Amino acid sequence: MIGSILLTLKRSRFFILSIFMTYWISCAAGIIMSHTGNNFALTARDRIVGQAVENDKASLSYLKGNNINAALYDFCGNLLLGAVPQTLMGFGIVIPYFTVLRQGWIGGIVSVDSQHKSRFKNFKSSAYYLLVLMLQFIPYSLAIGCGIRFGVDFYNNNRVNGWEFWKYKIQKSGIKDLIYIYILVIPLFFLASCFEFLSSWNI
């Protein structure tokens, strides 16, 4: 099992790393924009956070003090509503990069609080913010990167069929790789959500 997971990581490493770097580059852009008082970034930050406070089950549970429920809702949301759809978008090869750019940018603009003050005010706050991002970006990069590689292999192996999609065949090896990568991704998402909502660093 471990050997199969490592082999999957090796085969998908280029796409995994490219997604991971896209997350951090877009996140850095969001951090810079929010910290330099960019009105577009700050307005987007307030709108997104406001919507989350009103509708997101994880945020609502957290505000009520139900941190365990918040972690579970966040875990399910990241896995089922975030990672799985973006993994499937891997068939579009480049499409996931656009969703990742937006996702990373949002991670960057929330580096300021509701008063637009920096979360980098002290070591503990800075470390918590960066660790939350890191723990989320890693499983997302694994899932999406493997999905993109599956998409690339799918088209390469079916190139002779042109645009006749009904003749396309899905490689069993690609499906196995996705299963192996999700065996790794699922507990990583759970760890990320538990740290975000249950950690004593969450102040």
Q: Is the pLDDT of residue 203 over 80?
A: no
> What are the tens digits of pLDDT across the range 156-188?
877 766 656 566 677 777 788 899 999 999 999
- In the structure encoding, which two tokens stand for residue 26, read together? 């877009």
Spatial distance between the Cα atoms of 54 and 146, rounded to a whole number of angstroms: 34
**Closest by Cα among 44, 76, 82, 46 to 58:** 76
> What's the whole-number mean pLDDT along residues 30-36?
96
Residue 41: pLDDT over 70: yes
From CA 152, how far away is CA 174, in angstroms rounded? 10
- Amino acid 153: pLDDT: 85
* pLDDT at residue 48 is higher than 90: yes
Phi/psi zone of residue 37: left (φ > 0), alpha (ψ -120 to 50 degrees), beta?
A: left
Residue boundaries of the structural domains of the chain: 2-198
In angstroms, the CA 45 to CA 39 distance is 10
| Alpha carbon 197 to chain centroid, angstroms | 17
Top-confidence residue, 166 or 110? 110
Residues in CB range of 133: below 8 A, 6 or more apart: 23, 27, 107
**Which pLDDT does position 173 carry in this prediction?**
79
168 Rama class: left (phi>0) / alpha (psi -120 to 50) / beta: beta
Residue 164 is predicted with a pLDDT of 61
Decide: 46 and 176 in contact? Cβ < 8 Å: no
Tokens of 109: 């603009």
Which ranges constitute the DSSP H helices of the chain?
A: 2-35, 39-55, 57-63, 67-76, 84-88, 95-109, 123-157, 172-198
pTM of the model: 0.91
pLDDT band at 55 (very low <50, low <70, confident <90, very high): confident
